[in-house]
Amino acid sequence: MWSRALFYGFIAGGALLLGALAGIYLKPGRKYIAMIMGFGAGVLICALTFDLMEEAYSRGGFDSVTLGFLAGALLYVSGDWYVNRHGGHARKYTLWKRHLAYRRTNTLGG
């Protein structure tokens, strides 16, 4: 049993290593990276949905699952908005430079 887990762990780790090497040496474009990241996010959401939603539906029914899904989406969007309003925009260098330039022109009366 543990040998099977070890085998699959090596396969997953090898895929991660190959992806990292491809990203370093092949220099894929931004659109290609965005496509791969979108695909990965979709696969993760799909796996979680199939794994969790069936059990939630059987335990709570359609109304509870729908309410929980909408509450989670609202919480996520609200948290993202809050972080962006309180300095989260500075997490990327280009946005941080734009923010500083905006603050300089507005605080100096320009």
Ordered by start, the domain boundaries in the chain are 1-63, 80-110
Tell me the mean pLDDT in the region 55-67.
Answer: 89
CA distance linking residue 69 with residue 53, whole number of Å: 10
Q: What angle do CA 39, 42, 45 make, to 5 degrees?
A: 155
Helix (H, G, I), strand (E, B) or coil at 12: helix
Using pLDDT thresholds of 50, 70 and 90, give the confidence band for residue 67: very high
Contacts of 84 (CB under 8 A, 6+ apart): none
Instruction: Pull the structure tokens for residue 7.
Output: 């085998």
Contacts of 57 (CB under 8 A, 6+ apart): 65
Tell me the mean pLDDT in the region 9-32.
Answer: 87
- Out of 10-24, 46-60, 64-78, 82-96, which region has the weakest mean confidence (pLDDT)? 82-96
Using pLDDT thresholds of 50, 70 and 90, give the confidence band for residue 90: low
DSSP assignment letter at 50: I
